[in-house]
Structure 1
Amino acid sequence: MVHRYSALAGLLATAAATPLSIRNDANQTMVRSFKDIPPSTDLKYVPCFDNFTCANIEVPLDYDNPDVGTTNVAFMRYDAPNQPAMGDIIWNPGGPGDSAIEFMLEALEMLTFLLGDSYNIVGMDPRGVNNSGPNIDCFAGQPALRDYYLLELFNNIDPRSPILLEKYYQDSGAFGTWCSQTLNASANYANTPATATDMLHYAELLAESQGQSPEEAKVHYYGASYGSALGTTFASLYPDRVGRFIIDAVLDVEDYYFGNWSQNLLQADKAVESFFRFCYEAGPKCAFFRNDSSADSIKQRFDAMLEDLEDNPIAVTDVNFVQFPTTVTHIDFRGFLLISLYNPPALFPSLAGIAAGLENHNGTLLALATGNGVMPSAECDGTSPEVSSVQPKLLIACNDNNKRFTVTEENVTALFEYDKQLSTYVGDIWPAVIVPQCRNLDFAPPENQVFQKFEKVNTSTPILFTDNVIDPVTSSYEKMSAFYEGSVILLQDAVGHGLVVTQAECTAGYVQKYLQTGELPPPGTVCDTQFEPFASTTSAKKRGLAPRGIPNIPF
């Protein structure tokens, strides 16, 4: 059977040691699963996945209370071509819930272009994510059932319908009740402050293995999106242990911990408006272009199409694309629209084709993109991934929120209304990303793993904050940079989520100079790029920070 996708669900698509021993001799077995690496309190790397080495570190669930028990944290390292390396730089791609190890296996080239060859790059799966414990999968051992449930939970949410909004409120509460019954108390310890301490623990183990003082070990780090929450949390908790730190695609992390997430949308509509401009400049290369006289003309047609779709959902019955009749709605389109903003070079061409079809009352391409009209996979098909990026997102974010946001039906309704004011294009769907699912969860981190608040600190190394001039879902670099004395902001002239949406020599040059020497760019630096989302259809092959759950679209 064909696996079903949803654009919205895709959004919900971070002691003492013995000396480090990296053995690459031919006699060692090449590991291809972390299940084959027994957790160890020492830092023991073994060859894995052909071009990497892997370590599975046993850590206390609570460093202040070791009697609670332990879990494992998975690390995968790419050794820099130039050895000895200047250090290990830990990488986090976002989420919470995205796997750094999976990203490195799929898109290492993006990281090496940006970070250069002076540091080993270490992908760390945060607690509860992919290869790391504890288990926070509410449907453990039933991946197809889990994916089907999540699609049902997040499909058919329309805040303009009081009945559907009430249904979603009840469904999201049921999620928390269900997970509270199926998970154990170890889920309390899957949170960002604990993961930040795991990063420090890794640096201390690494230092000791190299004959250095663990107490003086520094963490080198590159984190994007949720990775900015993990990075700024670490820098606030352990300011004297900050090494080279690059914080990209910057969240309003205060807003993240509060559980609101609304400040993510500050540039969302600007990102949509960039589509009109890029489409106009591309002309016939953009499928939505119709000899328009201006970008504003394209915007007017786009807005009219979307308004018509709100009132007139479109039936799709083409047997070449769907397995059964289905109907696409403005919520389906808004979900795909939001995802496309993450990585315009990869998805703006698809967005243009979908919008062109909808303008002609043809929803086939939208159904193909979102998976409407396709039978969900069954357990026997074996097509669902064993682990989910959505489940960790919900549990980790709810633990970090720690019930700061009071989830009532009235508050959820008001949040949808508020987000719609922030973004006319995607505000209708954004609150479903996380907030309502927290209300009936019985989990909470111990007091020592609750992040309290941000205050201005002086880190041992100044931090480099980075982003695009327009980031659709994280644009709070000025606010967060202000908490860290001496930090500097580097922007690149592009649209999308994080630096990896394009490859700019200027950006990579400043980043690598900072990593090698600690020298920061001059304040106010904006790097030029050759950012053209419609330049080539091959750009759709690029992997960025877009949420998972996006199928291959044949245009």
Structure 2
Amino acid sequence: MKRAVALLLILALVLTGVGIAALSLLGGSDDPADPLSVPTTTPQPDATRPPAPGLARFYSQQLSWEQCRDHRLCATLEVPLDYAKPAGETIELAVLKVPAADPRGRLGSLVVDPGGPGAPATDYADGAASPGAVFRAPVLDAYDIVGMDPRGTGASTPVDCLSDDDLDAYVAQDPDPDTPAEVKTYTGFVDEIGRGCADRSGALAAHVTTTEAARDMDVLRAALGESRLTYYGASYGTKLGATYADLFPDRVGRLVLDGAVDLALSSRALSLQQAAGFETALRAYVQDCVDEGDCVLGDSLDAGLDRIRQLLDDVDAQPLPTDGDRELDVGNAFYGVVLPLYRRDSWPALTQGLTQAIGGDGSLLLRFSDLYSSRGTNGYTDNSSEAFYAISCLDDPWSIPASKVPANLADFEKASPTFGSVFAWGLTGCGGMQVRSTEPARHVTAAGAAPIVVIGTTRDPATPYAWAQSLARQLDSGVLVSRDGDGHTGYTEGNDCVDDAVDDYFLAGVVPEDGLSC
């Protein structure tokens, strides 16, 4: 569930021969005289009413905006580490705003979250300012696009679980260990990352749940001066948005949840269905490659799938050289294949990466893997891989011991002959978690909330279409919009029917027909 904006931009550069290192989404001026640095928020009546008296000082905050990056505005929001102890320790959350392109027609603030969990929403808001990257021009004209790095992520007070060197090894290891030595390495990291989060992050490690992040989002809403939240969440951002709606149904404005997570499924069922989703996407990619002719993977679907499996086995036996100092290990090869499956537009880049790897050069697949884990040329650009673990395992610490993986293999390999065993081993992932959340589990219904638009894509690899169907049913006011197509998420993915429905909702409050099929 990674950032689609950055992936699209980087893959475009790869396909045109420009190196990844040349891409920069940052920049900007520190000129304090720039008019964008002037605070623009006037609180609306009732916007700052706190849900509990002890939270009044947080809800009465006014954001102090300063220019950052390239004509963006940045600020810091203060929230309690533990909402049960509002007078106790606090943490700081990073906020970025892209002002509405047409101030005279401004409708308000549109808060965004890209998913993960663990991806920085400030980067997502920054990238979303380009028309078509996430939103179309009329929405960018009417709304300030606001991203806040959820607690524990990005430039907000971050969790830390592993050193950079250990994180490199964690990502590179075989995600489907098939020798005693590989199993020992794998299980060792299960314990090490869980222990590391507790040791390196302290009290924060127990307070990065989705529920707490949703409470933070309501403090942000108040600080933005909005009486109701307008929100676009993608992938894991749908879980965050749905949780917010359940906590604060009277504060729900226009919410769109795209690439939905099914909040009713167990961890095992989620993994099993996601394995099937990636298998579906891989098969669609390979069939497309074969249909185009002269496919490097072979002349049939089965031949292409076998060639990819063989490539992963070969890299497991002997890592491939790259154009840098690092080799392509099998874990990197796996993520390098998986990441481009998130978008159909990325399939030509995957073909290029596979062609190189089959020829003995792992450079491009390593770049895709690095993008997946937010690794730059000189280390990690954010903590998304560690935050993914910390948030996921705090939300649901369920796991199985390594000894029970073999009993689960048949189900997972049936769902995904290519990737199933990787997902089966993933069931052990939270086994080393050392801390537990104080937040109770929630049965999310968002009773009393305004209509919430849920978007599902029929061949979405990361969040299968059935999840959107289920989430729309779980939410009392859920409205399902379906896109028939490939790739992760549905809005601004080339389907005018979906795009028009979302734009009409954001701009005019027109609720799409429940069950709209695009």
For Structure 1 versus Structure 2, the TM-score category normalised by the shorter chain is 0.7 to 0.9
Aligned equivalent of 2:510, options 508, 519, 531: 519
- What residue is the counterpart of 1:341 in the other structure? 341
The two structures have a TM-score, normalised by structure 1, of 0.73
Matched to 1:26, the amino acid is: A
Mapped pair 1:137 → 2:160 = yes
Structure 1 CA distance, aligned partners of 2:170 and 2:270? 20
Determine whether 1:305 maps to 2:307.
Answer: yes
Question: Unaligned 5+ residue runs, structure 1?
Answer: 1-6, 8-23, 32-38, 140-145, 211-216, 375-380, 528-555
Say whether 1:491 aligns with 2:482.
yes
The range that moved more, 218-227 or 479-488, is 479-488
Match of 1:363 among 344, 360, 363: 360
Inter-partner Cα distance in structure 1 for 2:84 and 2:245: 19
Q: Deviations over 1:445-465 (max 9, x none)?
A: 22xx333323x4434311111
User: RMSD of aligned C-alpha atoms?
Assistant: 3.4
- Answer yes or no: is the 8 Å Cα contact 2:454–2:480 preserved in 1: yes
Structure 2 equivalent of residue 458 of structure 1: 447
Which residue among 454, 472, 483 is the counterpart of 2:461? 472
Q: Which residue of 2 aligns with 1:427?
A: 420
Alignment map for 1:7-18 (pairs within 5 Å): none
Mapped pair 1:119 → 2:109: no
CA contact (8 A) 2:120 2:154 kept: yes
Which residue matches 1:541? none
Whether contact under 8 Å (1:283, 1:289) holds in the other structure is: no
Q: Distance in 2 between matches of 1:362 and 1:68?
A: 58
Change (3 A) 1:440 1:273: closer
Q: Give the distance between the partners of 2:517 and 2:194, measured in 1 at CA.
A: 44
Residues 240-249 or 40-49, more deviating: 40-49
User: Is residue 69 of structure 1 aligned with residue 113 of structure 2?
Assistant: no
Which residues of structure 2 form unaligned runs of 5+? Answer: 1-6, 8-30, 39-57, 371-375
Give the Å deviation of 1:432. Answer: 6.0
Please give the secondary structure, in 1, of the residue aligned with 2:389: helix
Distance 1:49 1:256, change over 3 A: farther
Aligned to 1:197: 215
| Deviation sequence 1:457-507 (CA, Å, 0-9, x none) | 434311111132210010210111101224222223331111367344332
The aligned residue for residue 26 of structure 2 is: none
Over 3 Å counting, the alpha-carbon distance change for 1:51 and 1:432 in structure 2 is farther
- In the TM superposition, residue 239 of structure 1 has moved relative to its aligned partner by 1.9
| Contact 1:252/1:263 (8 A) holds in 2 | no
Assess, with a 3 A threshold, how the Cα gap between structure 1 residues 199 and 416 changes in structure 2: closer, same or farther: farther
Q: 1:162 to 1:514 in 2, by over 3 A?
A: same
1:188 shift after superposition: 1.5
CA contact (8 A) 1:185 1:443 kept: no
CA distance in 2, matches of 1:512, 1:136: 36
Native 8 Å contact 1:345 1:501 kept in 2? no
Q: Is the 8 A contact 1:470 1:494 kept in 2?
A: yes
Equivalent AA in structure 2 for residue 489 of structure 1:
L
1:277 is aligned to 287
For 1:462 and 1:312, how far apart are their aligned partners in 2? 50
**Are 1:391 and 2:386 counterparts?**
yes
Q: Which residue, 211, 216, 236 being the options, matches 1:226?
A: 236
Are residues 412 and 51 of structure 1, via their aligned partners in 2, closer, same or farther at CA, if it must alter by over 3 Å?
Answer: farther
Counterpart residue number, 1:482 = 473
User: Which residue matches 1:535?
Assistant: none
Task: Give me the whole-angstrom Cα distance separating, in 2, the residues matched to 1:441 and 1:47.
Answer: 39
Task: Verify the 8 A CA contact 2:258 2:491 in the aligned structure 1.
Answer: no
CA contact (8 A) 1:239 1:458 kept: yes
Distance 1:317 1:246, change over 3 A: closer
> TM-score, with normalisation over the residues of structure 2?
0.78
Q: Are the counterparts in 1 of residues 92 and 156 from structure 2 also a CA contact under 8 Å? A: yes
| Contact 2:160–2:196 (CA under 8 A) maintained in structure 1 | no
Partner of residue 106 from structure 1, selected from 124, 127, 130: 127
Structure 1 residues 332 and 245 mapped into 2: Cα distance closer, same or farther (>3 Å)?
A: same
